[in-house]
Amino acid sequence: MPSKDKESKTELKGGWQICLNTESPSESLVLGRADGRFFKVTFNTTRYGQPLLQEAVDADGVAGYVVPIVKQIDGAWHVVVTYNERPANDYQEKLLEGARRSVSNDTPFISTDGEAVQLLPGYIYSNSARIAGKLKVGVVDVTDEADFVLPEGAEYLSFAEFFEVSTDALTKAVLGQFMVCVLKLI
């Protein structure tokens, strides 16, 4: 057991911190938040040994939800999207994304609160080789909902255009599952 006097903690910006025991850094490394929100990076010593991003999960072990809002318009399927700044591209340009939320995010860019969500079977991982945290998936189909109002800053984009221009692999995966499991386009 590593000794307590070898434990170190370094505070970072925004409530983040790095903790490790210098006698066993690979078994004790944690980069995360003291409040446990969002995710933490640990060092997974199993097999190859590599850093692993572990998303914060709820009581059911779910890290978040990918639930695009879809609508059939003039015979073609569309998805509700927004353009969001993200660190993946160092905030260089806004990325085109569908509706998704983590369990730690109370204010997603597109909310599905109050909408009838059709959950799809199973769950997905955002990147199973690097990130742990199950994501539940589903859709909100507003085709027959005359009173549906687009969230502020959102717009409809055809599935075809979304697949062509978006880098949002999570929403693409769920739309693919929706096309196969619900629309039976196979």
pLDDT tens, position by position, 27-49:
888 999 999 999 999 988 888 88
Task: Round to whole Å and give the CA distance between 125 and 134.
Answer: 5
Q: What is the mean pLDDT of residues 78-92?
A: 94
With CA atoms as reference, report the closest residue to 99 among 154, 179, 158.
Answer: 154
∠ Cα 176 136 115 (to 5°): 85
Tell me the residue length of the chain: 186
Q: What is the pLDDT of residue 3?
A: 61
pLDDT bucket at 166, cuts 50 / 70 / 90 = very high
DSSP H helices, 4-77, are 25-28
Helices (H), the chain: 25-28, 159-165, 169-181
Average pLDDT over residues 60-81: 96
Buried/exposed 113-140: b ≥16 CB within 10 Å, e otherwise: eebebeebeebbebeeeebbbbbbbbbb
Q: How confident is the model at residue 119 (pLDDT cuts 50, 70, 90)?
A: very high
What is the pTM assigned to this prediction?
A: 0.86
Exposed e or buried b per residue across 26-38, where buried means at least 16 C-beta atoms within 10 angstroms of its C-beta: eebbebbbeeeeb
Tell me the CA distances in angstroms from 23 to 3, 20, 35, one per residue in order: 8, 9, 25
